[in-house]
Amino acid sequence: MSRRLKIGGRLIDRSRPVTFTFDGRELRGYAGDTLASALLANGRMVMGRSFKYHRPRSVVGAGPEEPNALMGVGEGARFEPNRRATLQEVYEGLTARSQNAWPSLGLDIGRMNDYGSRFLPAGFYYKTFIHPRPLWKHVFEPFIRKAAGLGAAPEQADADTYAHRYAYCDTLIAGGGVAGLLAAKAAGEAGERVMLVESRADWGGRSVTDGAEIDGKAADTWVKDILQHLDGMENVVRMSRCEASGVYDHGYVLCTENLTDHTSHKDGPRERLWRVRAGRVVAATGAIERPLSFAGNDVPGVLLASALRDYVVNHAVSMGERTVIVTNNDDAYRTAKVLLKAGLRVPAILDVRSAAGSAIVNEVKAMGVAVHHGRGIAKVHGDDRVTGVSVCLQAGEGHVMQEIRCDCVAMSGGWSPVVHLWSHCGGKLWWDEVRAMFRPDPDNPPSGADGQGFVTAIGAASGALTTAEVLADAAEAMDTEAPVCVAEEEGPIQPVWIMPEAAGPKLRTKMWLDFQNDVKVSDVRLAAQEGFESVEHAKRYTTLGMATDQGKLSNINGLAVLADRLDTTIPQVGTTTFRPPYTPVTIGTLAGEARGVVFQPLRRTPMHDWHEAQGAYWEPVGHWRRPYCYPKDGESHDEAVTREIRATRNSLGLLDASTLGKILVRGPDAAKFMDMLYTNMMSSLKPGRCRYGLMCDEQGFLMDDGVVARIDDQTFLCHTTTGGADRIHGWMEDWLQCEWWDWKVHAINVTEQFAQIAVVGPNARKVLEKLGGMDVSAEMLPFMAWADGTLGGFDLRAYRISFSGELSYELAVPATQGLALWEALIAAGAEFGVTPYGTEALHVMRAEKGFIMIGDETDGTVVPQDLGLDWAISKKKEDFLGKRGQQRSEFQKADRWKLVGLETIDGKPLEEGAYAIGEGRNANGQQRVQGRVTSTYMSPTLGRGIAMGLIERGSERMGETVRFSRIGQGPQEARIVNTVFFDPEGEKANV
Amino acid sequence: MSDLTVERLPPLGMVTIRGELSKIGDAIVGETGCAVPAPRMSERSGERQLLWMSPDELMLVCEYGEAGATADALTARFGDAFATVVNTSDARQVFALSGQHAEDALASLMPVDFARMKAEEVRRTRMAQIPAAIWREGEGWRLICFRSVATYAEDLLRGAKTVGG
């Protein structure tokens, strides 16, 4: 049974006990414990169930590589699944619960998957797609859905807040081990702006745990001294509990800083995302020990030799009384020393190497530990925890030579440098045959904008192993002097990928590679056998390395097994891609402040608050909110729209048109530029006049429309659609900056400068005359003219333009005057029953007039000719954007769908997006269609449903009746008519 | 609690000036009294401030009431030169930021290297999801954004999470 040792534990504070709960049970730990170490201290070995087979699992590691000990931490609005117990620090009141187990961690019904595991081989999921077909829907899919997914999703909105912070430095050092500390000192003393981040709470890394000696001092003293030195430098910033999660182009690094995950209080942001631009990145991220693949290597009590050292030294926690160590290198002997020093027993060390004679091996042998060379583990005994091991020859098939009773197995398969930050932006690796590891290739670093490498891997992350090596490597990379450190001779590693090397199928199905995703040696071999030779394919087929630990323990072992099965070499197979983040980052952290009211910018017109006070029902239009309608007490939206339309058509309506784009185009070449932008002729427009125009992209497709006013010889004001303002401004700048750079034209977006109000209806002129000022008569300000002047004391520009078919003025005033003018119009219009109207009334009224709407009648595949807008396409102009595109044969076809009006026979409106039903069926057996509805409304003016639609040869088929689809009902009939339903001569607007 | 004061200011006069700065610089100096600023910098003359916006764009910040007349005067001075002057005094919301944590708050929202930002520098950048610009004003800051997103900007600033407090 795991338990707390009476002495030791360099990270725990025995004077500060804390109480926490796990699966409802109250447990005690100490400040400085991780959740994993505290659970072990309480004898709780089993911490989770594996993903696929629901096997009981305990910790394998003691850090970010841990695949098994995933838990739900927190409660209610602060619950989060899949947190690593090895990283989660305990605090007073912490609550954690196990996951992926039902009904409980101890008794889990899903375990039956394990007993039937031979029916769930690699690629099982994909194979279920194939046959038998009916089983997928009724058997496999429900089964897999139930089994899939680790942890439970939170059920409440996150109560925490998150912050972002932008930061800049010359050198960002990731990792606060001895290499990172030395690098920070060197860069700091050189006067650089330095950021040093360490993901854990404590500094110094393995060297401190392993009790190294640096500069004649104990490593922890050396670390304390250097930290003090760094804190004395203003140009050095250091942060613990802050992980460098990802490296991106141009020296951009995301670091995630934990602020309250380790505290009882939850005040302030939970995490801070540091968005750093670094001149260079130094990856001092250490290395991760590899497991060994022997049968039963996942039984609780089997763990990495270094992790066991961490638990004993850092937290004074033992996994068991008797630990068998199995290794292929010298490093695991350090674990033996630590265990013996703690008074625990090491009945045997199984060293696969036929001989080993380095100092540490001899030292351990001299301490009386039985070292069996050339041996490995055939099988681990035990179910919910280790009870013993069967010993075999590593070179054999697994015949049992001896059984050793033990309750813990410490394994070491060598070390893999943490090359993630090196690799995120494309740093290359090389396979070091001697050390059996992929190491950063200094000749192929990730390169920045200048073509030079911007990431340097130092210390263990670059492949150095002992403290002396690590410091020497860091010193060389940082061009500084290495501290004095006694070099430790280590014997060579003997790579082992399967134990024993000739293990048969029975053993291979119990050798775990990926603990979290339950991928075994047999699965990877099966994938190779079935033709998945690329490591990327084999990964996806078997799910090796696809779990939340992203294969930190499994990748190298897995690809080595793959290489062996394919009779090729490890570097030939290569690694899968290392992608950020290094460990999972919460979505909340990435979102930062972007939640609640600032989830997205909301654009408000100068009259926004007025609309809100009137109870406007909002419609999002881009980032704007526009009133859809203004429902009065008890009114439905339909009723409100009807009332608004009738009031406008019969007397006076007001529309907030401020959102429409307003782009000033000015310069000696402005007229030439306008002729290129619009399909119709704009250069002939006289100052003081307005003209409706169309804009197409180079393909000829209609992309925006609006009214252009000519201000003077060199100046035009272009109105765009609400959603088009920024896009069209960008479009203009694109042409001016990239193509016609020598044209003298400025395009300035003045959308935000003006509030614009449409004053619409038969009484529009009367209300303006009542305000008094400029002459707004038909003679002085005729249809499609504009004039500057004053009305009611407001300096404004009045445009005689109409999108409703009514007598209409659009008044533009500086934005700060918008609300005052609006209120003046409301007051003056009272006697005419002035009615503010929203976007839906606007839409219905424009449809009654047959005016198109970008985004309704157009969808990116429609040319103006399809909409019967040939009149707006100049035949005289030599060129305009879209001219050549429109000449393509596809657009000349006689059977193009053309815009028509549609009048339903039954008077009810057509359904939104309904299809016009054609004759027969197409090659896929689907009903043929001959068109579709683009806009459909109930017209209060006409008292019937009206619509516009694109119909095959529609313009030639006036009077024909066409059937339209309806959801859940039989087709609806409509007659093809002219698009202009109301006032075809335009008499109402032109008065 | 962080020490940050966010104040919405009434509109300032703002005049957008576009053109080849080498050709219209003298006229600008003559009219505004401000020298033509170097890239990313600003120049002051009394209450007037000339901000560098882009290689062919400046913005004159002045009293709200004088923007229109100044724009007309600039247009007149430029004569036939290819230049455009527009009064855009209503297009933006101006904020005054002050307090010990103002820079700290801004650093949580804007990708700006404040330690390297010069005293006269104008930084056109991004604040969370909107365009914004900042410059130093006395002990504090001026921040401008488009007027339609003023509420968003204010909410951002008031909710800004500082590192310092």
Which amino acid, residue A726? D
- Are the Cβ atoms of B111 and A268 closer than 8 angstroms? no
pLDDT of A132 strictly over 90: no
List CB contacts (< 8 A) between B151 and chain A: 602, 604
- Give the minimum alpha-carbon distance from A257 to chain B in angstroms, rounded to a whole number: 11
- A167 to chain B: closest CA residue: B113
Q: For residue A1, what pLDDT is reported? A: 85
Q: For residue A50, what pLDDT is reported? A: 86
Indicate whether B163 belongs to any domain. Answer: no
pLDDT of A513 strictly over 90: yes
Check residue A516 and report its DSSP letter: T
- Are the Cβ atoms of A748 and B18 closer than 8 angstroms? yes
Mean pLDDT (whole number) for A9-24: 97
Q: For residue B154, what pLDDT is reported? A: 98
Give the pLDDT band (50/70/90) at residue A54. Answer: confident
| Residue A259 to residue A255: CA distance in whole angstroms | 13
Class (C level, CATH) for A1-152: alpha beta
Q: For residue B40, what pLDDT is reported? A: 97
Q: For residue A121, what pLDDT is reported? A: 73
Q: For residue A138, what pLDDT is reported? A: 73
Give the pLDDT band (50/70/90) at residue A128. Answer: low
Is the CB of residue A305 less than 8 Å from the CB of residue A408? no
Q: Which of A593, A623, A816 lies nearest to residue B11, judging by beta carbons?
A: A816
- Are the Cβ atoms of B163 and A272 closer than 8 angstroms? yes
Indicate whether B120 belongs to any domain. Answer: yes
Mutate to test the interface with A, among B16, B89, B114, B147 (most CBs of A within 10 A): B147
Helix (H, G, I), strand (E, B) or coil at A883: helix
Q: For residue A147, what pLDDT is reported? A: 61
Count the helices and strands in chain B (H runs, E runs).
4, 10
Indicate whether B129 belongs to any domain. Answer: yes
The token pair at A625 is 């909110």
Residues B79, B136 within the same domain: no
Digit-coded pLDDT (tens) for A275-321: 999 999 999 999 999 999 999 999 999 999 999 999 999 999 999 99
Q: For residue A820, what pLDDT is reported? A: 98
Q: For residue A149, what pLDDT is reported? A: 62
Residue-range domain boundaries for chain A: 1-152, 162-288+416-477
Residues B60, B111 within the same domain: no
Which percentage of chain B shows pLDDT scores above 70?
Answer: 99
In the block, which residue shows the tokens 């609550």?
A95
Q: Which of A498, A469, A602 is nearest to A560 (CA)?
A: A498
Mean pLDDT (whole number) for A733-750: 98
- Give the minimum alpha-carbon distance from A845 to chain B in angstroms, rounded to a whole number: 27
Give the pLDDT band (50/70/90) at residue A129. Answer: low
Mean pLDDT (whole number) for A857-865: 97
| Residue A111 to residue A117: CA distance in whole angstroms | 10
* Boundary-marking domain end, from B33, B52, B87: B87
Digit-coded pLDDT (tens) for A524-551: 999 999 999 899 999 999 999 988 899 9
- Are the Cβ atoms of B88 and A668 closer than 8 angstroms? no
- A666 to chain B: closest CA residue: B84
| Residue A896 to residue A14: CA distance in whole angstroms | 82
- Give the minimum alpha-carbon distance from A164 to chain B in angstroms, rounded to a whole number: 5
Q: What angle do CA A614, A617, A619 make, to 5 degrees?
A: 130
A871 contact partners, CB below 8 Å, separation of at least 6 = none
Average pLDDT of chain B to the nearest whole number? 96
Mutate to test the interface with A, among B12, B84, B116 (most CBs of A within 10 A): B84
Is the CB of residue A629 less than 8 Å from the CB of residue A739? no
Q: For residue A538, what pLDDT is reported? A: 92
Give the pLDDT band (50/70/90) at residue A53. Answer: confident
| Residue A277 to residue A287: CA distance in whole angstroms | 25
Q: For residue A808, what pLDDT is reported? A: 97
Q: For residue A148, what pLDDT is reported? A: 58
pLDDT of A140 strictly over 90: no
Digit-coded pLDDT (tens) for B6-62: 999 999 999 999 999 999 999 999 999 999 999 999 999 999 999 999 999 999 999
Q: For residue A100, what pLDDT is reported? A: 76
List CB contacts (< 8 A) between B115 and chain A: 168, 193
Residues B72, B109 within the same domain: no
Mean pLDDT (whole number) for A76-102: 93
Q: For residue B2, what pLDDT is reported? A: 80
Q: For residue A56, what pLDDT is reported? A: 93
pLDDT of A709 strictly over 80: yes
In the block, which residue shows the tokens 């940050």?
B4
Q: For residue A151, what pLDDT is reported? A: 84
Which phi and psi angles does A9 have, rounded to 5°? 95, 80
Q: For residue A783, what pLDDT is reported? A: 96
| Residue A73 to residue A93: CA distance in whole angstroms | 11
- A161 to chain B: closest CA residue: B161
List CB contacts (< 8 A) between A623 and chain B: 149
Residues B70, B119 within the same domain: no
Digit-coded pLDDT (tens) for A593-643: 999 999 999 999 999 999 999 999 999 999 999 999 999 999 999 999 999
Give the pLDDT band (50/70/90) at residue A120. Answer: confident
Residues B54, B96 within the same domain: no
Mutate to test the interface with A, among B152, B154, B156, B157 (most CBs of A within 10 A): B152
pLDDT of A938 strictly over 80: yes
Q: Give the predicted TM-score (pTM) of the model.
A: 0.94
The token pair at A603 is 């654009």
Indicate whether B164 belongs to any domain. Answer: no
- Per-residue b/e over A9-33, b at no fewer than 16 CB within 10 Å? bebbeeeeebebebbeeebebbbbb
List CB contacts (< 8 A) between A272 and chain B: 161, 163
* Boundary-marking domain end, from B40, B67, B87: B87
- Are the Cβ atoms of A269 and B160 closer than 8 angstroms? no
Digit-coded pLDDT (tens) for A867-880: 999 999 999 999 99
| Residue A650 to residue A392: CA distance in whole angstroms | 98
Mutate to test the interface with B, among A602, A624, A666, A752 (most CBs of B within 10 A): A752
Is the CB of residue A674 less than 8 Å from the CB of residue A745? no
Mean pLDDT (whole number) for A732-760: 98
Q: Could you tell me which residues are beta bridge partners of residue A656? A: A757
What's the number of CA atoms in the CB half-sphere (13 Å) around residue A303?
35
Which percentage of chain A shows pLDDT scores above 90?
Answer: 91
- Are the Cβ atoms of B155 and A193 closer than 8 angstroms? no
Indicate whether B105 belongs to any domain. Answer: yes
Mean pLDDT (whole number) for A436-461: 96
Count the helices and strands in chain A (H runs, E runs).
28, 51
Indicate whether B34 belongs to any domain. Answer: yes
Checking ipTM against 0.85, whether it exceeds it is yes
Mean pLDDT (whole number) for B80-96: 98
Residues B109, B123 within the same domain: yes
B98 to chain A, any CB pair closer than 8 A? The answer is: no
- Are the Cβ atoms of A746 and B18 closer than 8 angstroms? yes
| Residue A785 to residue A711: CA distance in whole angstroms | 11
Average pLDDT of chain A to the nearest whole number? 95
- Are the Cβ atoms of B108 and A166 closer than 8 angstroms? yes
Q: Which of A521, A515, A523 is nearest to A540 (CA)?
A: A523
Residues B83, B31 within the same domain: yes
Q: Which of A602, A668, A750 lies nearest to residue B86, judging by beta carbons?
A: A750
- A745 to chain B: closest CA residue: B82
CATH number at residue B145: 3.30.1360.120
B35 to chain A, any CB pair closer than 8 A? The answer is: no
* Boundary-marking domain end, from B57, B87, B117: B87
- CATH architecture of structural domain A162-288+416-477: 3-Layer(bba) Sandwich (3.50)
Residues B61, B96 within the same domain: no
Check residue A831 and report its DSSP letter: G
Q: For residue A815, what pLDDT is reported? A: 98
pLDDT of A650 strictly over 90: yes
- Are the Cβ atoms of A814 and B89 closer than 8 angstroms? yes
Indicate whether B39 belongs to any domain. Answer: yes
- Are the Cβ atoms of A815 and B147 closer than 8 angstroms? yes
The tally of domains found in chain B comes to 2
- Are the Cβ atoms of B107 and A166 closer than 8 angstroms? yes
Q: Which of B18, B155, B163 lies nearest to residue A165, judging by beta carbons?
A: B163
Which amino acid, residue A555? N
Q: Which of A414, A420, A463, A465 is nearest to A438 (CA)?
A: A463
Mean pLDDT (whole number) for A18-29: 97
Q: Give me the total of CB pairs closer than 8 Å, taking one residue from chain A and one from chain B.
A: 102
Residues B19, B35 within the same domain: yes
The token pair at A229 is 């030195």
Residues B80, B97 within the same domain: no
pLDDT of A144 strictly over 70: no
Residues B139, B105 within the same domain: yes
pLDDT of A104 strictly over 80: no
Helices (H), A496-636: 505-508, 521-529, 535-542, 555-565, 570-573, 587-591, 608-613
Q: For residue A418, what pLDDT is reported? A: 98
Give the pLDDT band (50/70/90) at residue A145. Answer: low
Digit-coded pLDDT (tens) for A165-212: 999 999 999 999 999 999 999 999 999 999 999 999 999 999 999 999
- B127 to chain A: closest CA residue: A601
List CB contacts (< 8 A) between A667 and chain B: 82, 84
pLDDT of A564 strictly over 70: yes
Which amino acid, residue A698? E
| Residue B25 to residue B58: CA distance in whole angstroms | 10
Q: Which of A644, A611, A630, A639 is nearest to A833 (CA)?
A: A644
- A596 to chain B: closest CA residue: B155
The token pair at A140 is 């496999």
The token pair at A58 is 């305990």
Where in the sequence is the domain holding B27, given as residue range(s)?
A: 13-87
Other Cβ atoms closer than 10 A to A449: 9
Residues B51, B109 within the same domain: no
Check residue A872 and report its DSSP letter: G
| Residue A13 to residue A32: CA distance in whole angstroms | 6
Q: Which of A623, A664, A751 lies nearest to residue B86, judging by beta carbons?
A: A664
The token pair at A454 is 């911007």
The token pair at A885 is 């595109």
